[in-house]
Structure 1
Amino acid sequence: MKNKDVDNHVAEVVQTMPHSGIRKFFDLIEKTDGVISLGVGEPDYITPEVIREACMKALVAGRTKYTSNCGLPVLREEISCYLKTRFKVDYTAEQILVTVGVSEAVDLALRAIINPGDEVLIGEPCYVSYAPNVALAGGVPVLVPARAEEEFRLKKKDLIARINERTKALLLSYPNNPTGAIMERSDLEEIAQVAKNYDLLVISDEVYAELTYGKQHASFVSLPGIKERTILLNGFSKAFAMTGWRLGFAAGPDEIIKAMLKIHQYTMLCAPTMSQFAGLAALRNGFDFVDEMVSEYDKRRRIIVNGLRELGLPCFEPRGAFYAFPSIAGTGMTSEEFCENLLFEEKVAVVPGNAFGPSGEGHIRCCYAASQSKIEEALERMQRFLRRRQISNAAIL
């Protein structure tokens, strides 16, 4: 069989799908030595010792076999307690599914609810996998822009303008990656009213819920009358510095969780057993670490936002996650041009804003889950880069 014939057998939805804007850019980083990376969206902390020890104890005890497809019963009970304590929402263990990271939970939720041609509203800029996951599930992603002048909050009017008879669901993600924006309760109440009025299902990805600054996280499912039509997604990667453990969960209405479980049992079977025991320890003994980490992120947040502004790059103040999303529109470069030139000239890695959707163009994502010294050095290198560009532009003119 010739190669071109093999290519013809690849599914059309995959053929037309672009590569991840993040991964595409980071292929360049691997070829460059001495890079300061403000690109990778993960904590620079290692997983706390109490969590690692729980994993090792599970290994020593030989707890290496499959768990229930749903996840360890004791972990699902602990997740239920966590959601009730932190977000004032009640889910039974049977309404909770443990997944291989929140990424799998997003995929399962979409595949469980989408019929071919169903449209899913996605607020953007957004995490890079949302639109491709909708397409892979047979749906149609409909991007709804959030704007810097509105603090990147999703607005009712923009949702309503894109709703039609094919609209099935809304994918909501706050605190937001890449902008660091949050939605307060009053903002969410407007979105909830739209969901009720137009009978939309809602997938609420709240993986950054524990990482907020100055404002307590408002969970979408805590709003009256909304839990019954919402799938809540969360996980351990960001709050407990457990990105490599691949552990998340979904909570939602019985029938939808059962539908997600059907897919999960044929694809993943269960989340890694050792990771589940580690997650149990995180929920029981890990919150002092979370508080310390958030306090440190808050310091870094102020340093990077103030530093970017001093460089002349307007920067919305992020109130959640660990990302700054400054505008580089005034430089005359596209997001990709800015990032590639900055990487090659000063060895600083940031992510082009357009990797997160059309509304991200003219911005870059800078992750401040890096050490203070690296952030300060990166800002100095960016200053040199911008000064050199200004001199070059003046010479050309």
Structure 2
Amino acid sequence: MTQAVRHDSMRARNLGVVLGEVRRSGPITRAALAEITGLTKTTVSKMVGDLIEAGMVAESGALRDGERGRPGTAVALSGRRVAALGLEINVDYLSACVVDLTLAVRLRYTQAVDNRRASPVETLSHLEELAHRAVEEARGEGLSIAGSTLAVPGPVDGGLVHAAPNLGWHDVRVSDLLGFPVELDNEANLAALGELWFGSVPGDFLHVSGEIGVGAGLVVGGTLFRGARGLAGELGHVVVSPDGPACRCGGRGCLEQYAGQDALLRAAGLAGVPELLAHLQAGERGSLEACQRAGQALGVALTSAVHLMDPGTIVLGGVFAPLFPWIRDPAHETMTSRLGVMRRAVPELTVSRLGGDAATLGAAGQVIHRVIANPWSHLATTRP
């Protein structure tokens, strides 16, 4: 029994090594895989056969191994069978997306809904309907869902949402209220991972997710920094004015009260982001001033983030993406004036290519990366 356990454990590890190398280097021949991984050609061929049968890789044609080598049949990741479900609950919408093993987005849904006026049971019931719709459509395309991750706007620990003040949630255990298994993570963390895997920002960066609240995720060396308890990144509750307005977190003068979506719309006297954008494009003074103040407050909070974490790039996402032309300059000018005193360089401020889709994509991408790291546990469920 001990030998069998060791054999299965080693085979599982080697499958992950082979599939990971196909992802990094593919299309690649079996001979090249054997050379790179140090496994025998027989072992590699058997594992590639298993991965082909499971629909995780596919043969992609002849490829020459070196200048003198005979052409071999190359394999590459396949998106025809294995997929992941990414989900998000935010204050004013629900969203779902399905991403295949090659990180291609196969389908995406967004449903506008005011989750502040709903109980956790009601919100999760609506989310379950959206998830089932996405899964059924994915199955219609021949895809098998390997897992799902849910992004929520609050700190998470062991499947428990400690507090999501903008939703009115406290100590909600999502798994007790959903009819299917799901991993849980903070929206800002997953948005940062979405930017890492689906965006175009290289190196180390800080992703700032502007929604009703304001969160952040720090990527260092291609890895998300979570903090000692997984609660890092609550940028929205960095104090920018100690005598400022009261915040839902119990403090005063938090960034969220100046640059969060609700705060911005309140300052501009408008009802929604599309209306705000129309007023900004028309040069309406009140809207321009609201964005000016929000950008300045954001610059104050980002200055603190730069002193603490020294990111190479700061990516503005969520609602900050469409508002980027109007908040970038005040944020950059504030950072420049404050960091210049210490002779510190101002990181590049750039806009997210993913906007409000970053967290949902990061949620699905997290599942895909787990499958690639450990394909063994998914072989039985993905075979025809």
TM-score (norm 1): 0.28
TM-score (norm 2): 0.29
- Which protein has the bigger strand share? 2
